[in-house]
Structure 1
Amino acid sequence: MTPVAAASLPLRTRIGQVNQRLKGWEAVRWVDGAPRVTDVLRAEVDRWGGLGALYGVLRADPWSAVRWENGVPPERSAEAYAAVQEHVTRYGDGLPVLFVEEAPHGLMALGGTTLPVNLALGAGMDAALTEELGALVATEARARGTHVALVSGLDVLRDPRWGRAEECFSEDPALAAALVEATVRGMQGTTSCDDPIDGGHVAVVAKHLAGQGAGIGGRNGSGAPIGRRELGELHLRPAFAAARAGVAGYMAAYNDVDGVPCSANEELLTGTIREAWGWRGLVMADGTAIDRLRDSSPDPASAAALALQAGVDLSLWDEAFTHVEKALDRGLVEEAVLNQAVDRVLGLKQRLGLLGDPVPATPAPERDVVALVERAARQSVVLVRDDGVLPLRAGATVAVVGPNADDLDAQLGDYTPPRPPSDPAASTVLSALTARLGAGTVRHAPGSRLRGPLDVRPDEQPDGPRALDAVREACAAADVAVVVLGGSSRRSYDDEFADNGAVEGPAPDTTNGEGVDLSSVALPQAQLDVARAARASGRPVVGVVVDGRPRVLSELLPLVDALLVVPFPGPAGGAAIADALLTGAASGRLPATFPAADGVVPVAHDERMETARGYVDNPVLRGLPLGTAHTPGVTAALRADVTSVAAAVLAEGGAAEVAVDVTNDGPAPATVSVPLYGRRHERGIRPRRRTLLGVRRVTVEPGATTPLTFRLGLDELGSWASGVPAAVPLTVGVWCTPDTDQPADAATVRVTDQEDSTPWER
Structure 2
Amino acid sequence: MKHVLERLTLKEKIGQLNQRLPGWDALEVTHGKLVVTDALKQEVERFGGIGSLYGLQRADPWSGRHWGNGIPPERSAEATALVQSYIRSQSSSGLPTLFVEEAPHGLQGLGGHVLPVNLAVGAAWDDDLVAELAAQVAHELRARGIHVALLSGLDMLRDPRWGRAEECFSEDPYIASHLVRSTVMAMQGAGERIDTEHVAVVVKHLAAQGAGIGGRNGSGAPLGWRELHEIHLPAARAAAEAGVAGYMAAYNDVDGIACSANRDLLTGVLRENWGWEGIVMADCTALDRLLDAAPDHAHAGALALRAGVDISFWDEAYVVLDQALDRGLIEMADIDRACERVLSLKQRLGLFDESPADSEPAPGDDVLAHRLAHRLARESIVLLRNDGVLPLAGSTRLAVVGPNADDLLSQLGDYTAPRPVPDPTSSTIRSALIARGFPVEHAAGSKLRERIDGGLDAVRAAVGASEVAVVVLGSSSRRLYESEFAENGAVQGADLGMTNGEGVDLSRVAIDPVQIEVARAAREVGKPMVGIVIGGRPHAVTEFAGLCDALIFSAFPGPTGGDAVVDVVSGAESPSGRLPVTLPGGEGVWPVAHDERRETSRGYADASYADNVLLGTGLSYSTFEVSVLSGSQTEVRARVQNTGSVESRYVVPLYGRRHVLGVRPRVRQVIGYVPVHLAPGEEQEIVFPLGIDELGTVDSHGLLELTPGHLDVWVSGDLHPPTDSVRIEVAP
The TM-score with structure 2 as length reference comes to: 0.97
Aligned counterparts of 1:427 and 1:421: Cα–Cα separation in 2: 13
CA deviation after TM superposition for structure 1 residue 543, in Å: 0.4
Matches within 5 A, 1:174-253: 174-190=174-190, 195-253=192-250
Aligned counterparts of 1:432 and 1:199: Cα–Cα separation in 2: 37
CA deviation after TM superposition for structure 1 residue 258, in Å: 0.2
Q: Determine the structure 2 residue equivalent to 1:650.
A: none
What is the letter of the counterpart of residue 298 of structure 1? P
8 Å Cα contact 1:190-1:246 kept in structure 2? no
What is the letter of the counterpart of residue 625 of structure 1? L
Of 733, 739, 742, which aligns to 2:721?
A: 742
Per mean C-alpha deviation after superposition, the further-off stretch among 391-400 and 721-730 is 721-730
Aligned counterparts of 2:654 and 2:625: Cα–Cα separation in 1: 10
How has the CA–CA distance of structure 1 residues 724 and 130 changed in structure 2, closer, same or farther, with 3 Å as cutoff?
farther
CA deviation after TM superposition for structure 1 residue 750, in Å: 1.7
Q: Determine the structure 1 residue equivalent to 2:57.
A: 58
8 Å Cα contact 2:629-2:639 kept in structure 1? no
8 Å Cα contact 1:591-1:627 kept in structure 2? yes
CA deviation after TM superposition for structure 1 residue 190, in Å: 2.9
Aligned counterparts of 1:612 and 1:346: Cα–Cα separation in 2: 53
CA deviation after TM superposition for structure 1 residue 184, in Å: 0.4
How has the CA–CA distance of structure 1 residues 703 and 640 changed in structure 2, closer, same or farther, with 3 Å as cutoff?
closer
Deviations 1:282-320 (A, max 9, x none): 000000000000100000000000000000000011111
Q: Determine the structure 1 residue equivalent to 2:427.
A: 427
Aligned counterparts of 1:692 and 1:364: Cα–Cα separation in 2: 39
Q: Determine the structure 2 residue equivalent to 1:697.
A: 675
Identity over aligned pairs, percent: 56
SS in 2 for 1:738: coil
Q: Determine the structure 1 residue equivalent to 2:331.
A: 334
Q: Determine the structure 2 residue equivalent to 1:157.
A: 157
SS in 1 for 2:422: coil
Of 279, 287, 298, which aligns to 1:290?
A: 287
Per mean C-alpha deviation after superposition, the further-off stretch among 321-330 and 596-605 is 596-605
CA deviation after TM superposition for structure 1 residue 62, in Å: 0.5
What is the letter of the counterpart of residue 60 of structure 2? D
SS in 2 for 1:437: coil
Of 296, 313, 316, which aligns to 1:316?
A: 313
What is the letter of the counterpart of residue 506 of structure 1? A
Deviations 1:44-78 (A, max 9, x none): 11111001000000000000000000001111111
How has the CA–CA distance of structure 1 residues 496 and 24 changed in structure 2, closer, same or farther, with 3 Å as cutoff?
same
Determine if the alignment matches structure 1 residue 605 to structure 2 residue 594. Answer: yes
Of 601, 604, 621, which aligns to 1:615?
A: 604
The TM-score with structure 1 as length reference comes to: 0.93
CA deviation after TM superposition for structure 1 residue 359, in Å: 7.0
Of 666, 677, 681, which aligns to 2:655?
A: 677
8 Å Cα contact 2:622-2:647 kept in structure 1? no
Deviations 1:171-190 (A, max 9, x none): 00000000001110111113
Determine if the alignment matches structure 1 residue 518 to structure 2 residue 518. Answer: no
Aligned counterparts of 1:4 and 1:378: Cα–Cα separation in 2: 52
CA deviation after TM superposition for structure 1 residue 225, in Å: 0.3
Deviations 1:20-44 (A, max 9, x none): 0110000111122221111111111
8 Å Cα contact 1:237-1:720 kept in structure 2? no
Matches within 5 A, 1:37-116: 37-92=36-91, 93-116=93-116
What is the RMSD computed on CA atoms of the aligned residues?
A: 1.6
Aligned counterparts of 1:354 and 1:152: Cα–Cα separation in 2: 25
Q: Determine the structure 2 residue equivalent to 1:411.
A: 411
Aligned counterparts of 1:358 and 1:207: Cα–Cα separation in 2: 32
Q: Determine the structure 1 residue equivalent to 2:537.
A: 549
CA deviation after TM superposition for structure 1 residue 423, in Å: 2.4
How has the CA–CA distance of structure 1 residues 323 and 237 changed in structure 2, closer, same or farther, with 3 Å as cutoff?
same
CA deviation after TM superposition for structure 1 residue 620, in Å: 2.4
Determine if the alignment matches structure 1 residue 752 to structure 2 residue 703. Answer: no
Aligned counterparts of 2:533 and 2:149: Cα–Cα separation in 1: 31
SS in 1 for 2:629: coil
CA deviation after TM superposition for structure 1 residue 590, in Å: 0.6
SS in 2 for 1:598: coil
How has the CA–CA distance of structure 1 residues 636 and 657 changed in structure 2, closer, same or farther, with 3 Å as cutoff?
farther
Q: Determine the structure 2 residue equivalent to 1:124.
A: 124
Q: Determine the structure 2 residue equivalent to 1:261.
A: 258
CA deviation after TM superposition for structure 1 residue 420, in Å: 1.1
CA deviation after TM superposition for structure 1 residue 148, in Å: 0.5
How has the CA–CA distance of structure 1 residues 358 and 271 changed in structure 2, closer, same or farther, with 3 Å as cutoff?
farther
What is the letter of the counterpart of residue 286 of structure 2? A
8 Å Cα contact 1:119-1:168 kept in structure 2? yes
Q: Determine the structure 2 residue equivalent to 1:508.
A: 496
CA deviation after TM superposition for structure 1 residue 120, in Å: 0.3
Aligned counterparts of 1:430 and 1:596: Cα–Cα separation in 2: 29
Deviations 1:585-633 (A, max 9, x none): 3111111000111111231000000101101111225510100011243
SS in 2 for 1:599: coil
SS in 2 for 1:571: coil
Determine if the alignment matches structure 1 residue 356 to structure 2 residue 353. Answer: yes
CA deviation after TM superposition for structure 1 residue 363, in Å: 8.9
8 Å Cα contact 2:592-2:612 kept in structure 1? no
Aligned counterparts of 1:737 and 1:365: Cα–Cα separation in 2: 42
CA deviation after TM superposition for structure 1 residue 331, in Å: 0.5
CA deviation after TM superposition for structure 1 residue 358, in Å: 5.7
8 Å Cα contact 1:551-1:595 kept in structure 2? yes
Q: How many residues align?
A: 726
How has the CA–CA distance of structure 1 residues 685 and 65 changed in structure 2, closer, same or farther, with 3 Å as cutoff?
same
What is the letter of the counterpart of residue 37 of structure 2? T
8 Å Cα contact 2:628-2:715 kept in structure 1? no
Deviations 1:185-229 (A, max 9, x none): 1111135xxx11001110000000000000000000000000010
SS in 1 for 2:319: helix
Determine if the alignment matches structure 1 residue 499 to structure 2 residue 487. Answer: yes
Q: Determine the structure 2 residue equivalent to 1:652.
A: none
CA deviation after TM superposition for structure 1 residue 746, in Å: 0.7
8 Å Cα contact 2:446-2:455 kept in structure 1? yes
8 Å Cα contact 2:539-2:584 kept in structure 1? yes
Q: Determine the structure 2 residue equivalent to 1:759.
A: none
Structure 1 runs, 4 residues or longer, greater than 4 Å off: 357-367
